[in-house]
Amino acid sequence: GAGVSQTPSNKVTEKGKYVELRCDPISGHTALYWYRQSLGQGPEFLIYFQGTGAADDSGLPNDRFFAVRPEGSVSTLKIQRTERGDSAVYLCASSLFSGSANTGELFFGEGSRLTVL
Amino acid sequence: RKEVEQDPGPFNVPEGATVAFNCTYSNSASQSFFWYRQDCRKEPKLLMSVYSSGNEDGRFTAQLNRASQYISLLIRDSKLSDSATYLCVVSIDRGSTLGRLYFGRGTQLTVWP
């Protein structure tokens, strides 16, 4: 389909390991967002890209978290030295900015479920 | 204090009932308001935007009270398929540069036959 694609859908890792999560947004969407969601909570903002640059990375919890979007399309969220508290569903979303016609709709992927043992 | 506060529920109502959800937001500079719907173990999807004058989409009515920093969603004639978690969403941005969205924790609705 033409929706937001995230891989892997599930990732189980051990404490201290490095993890990469990939997001392929809807073609032509210039804005890309990373959120994470814990059980029983709403999505928590991590970072937002407009094109290749991070327009707002204030939600990244600490310097173990880093995200890139080198060509303005696919993005990778990188987590170093994973901790058990990093376990969550990591959601990627994209949005089409079209001047004043932005509806504010974010199109989410199905998420990557990360479990840190 | 969280940016967006919602009663998590759960709300359990029979088919055909009318149910209302509320949320409050803390930042008076907020400009854009939405309700998203999230089915169990699925991704959130936009249900509707919320406009200052209030707006309706079929059985769904959204209201905004800027003075009280309060947003509501009313569902009339509930259907089984309305069972989901409803997320209240707020942003300080507007228009073409909508950036960070703040999500509430969601209100869980179950409609029973």
Look at B101 and A45 and tell me if their CB atoms are within 8 Å. Answer: yes
A30-42: average pLDDT: 94
Q: Alpha-carbon torsion A53, A33, A19, A44, what sign?
A: positive
> A39: Cβ–Cβ under 8 A, 6 or more apart, which residues?
none
Task: Spell out which residues of chain A touch residue B43, defining contact as CB-CB under 8 Å.
Answer: 91, 108-111
Stronger pLDDT, A5 or B94, i.e. the higher one: A5
Look at B100 and A97 and tell me if their CB atoms are within 8 Å. Answer: no
Look at A108 and B97 and tell me if their CB atoms are within 8 Å. Answer: no
Whether residue A18 is predicted with pLDDT greater than 90 in this model: the reply is yes
pLDDT value of residue A55: 87
Residues in chain A: 117
Shortest alpha-carbon distance between residue B99 and chain A (Å) = 7
Kindly state whether B25 is in contact with chain A, defined as any CB-CB distance less than 8 angstroms: no
Look at A95 and B104 and tell me if their CB atoms are within 8 Å. Answer: no
Look at A97 and B97 and tell me if their CB atoms are within 8 Å. Answer: yes
Task: Spell out which residues of chain A touch residue B87, defining contact as CB-CB under 8 Å.
Answer: 42-43
Whether residue B2 is predicted with pLDDT greater than 90 in this model: the reply is no
Nearest CA in chain A to B10: A40
**Contact A110/A46 with Cβ under 8 angstroms?**
no
Q: Cα-flanking dihedrals φ and ψ of residue B82, to 5°?
A: -80, -10
Cβ under 8 Å to A: B residues 68-97: 87, 91, 95-97
pLDDT value of residue A98: 55
Whether residue B64 is predicted with pLDDT greater than 70 in this model: the reply is yes
Whether residue B8 is predicted with pLDDT greater than 90 in this model: the reply is no
**Contact A77/A103 with Cβ under 8 angstroms?**
no
Whether residue B80 is predicted with pLDDT greater than 60 in this model: the reply is yes
A64-83: average pLDDT: 96
B2-15: average pLDDT: 93
Average pLDDT over chain A, rounded to an integer? 92
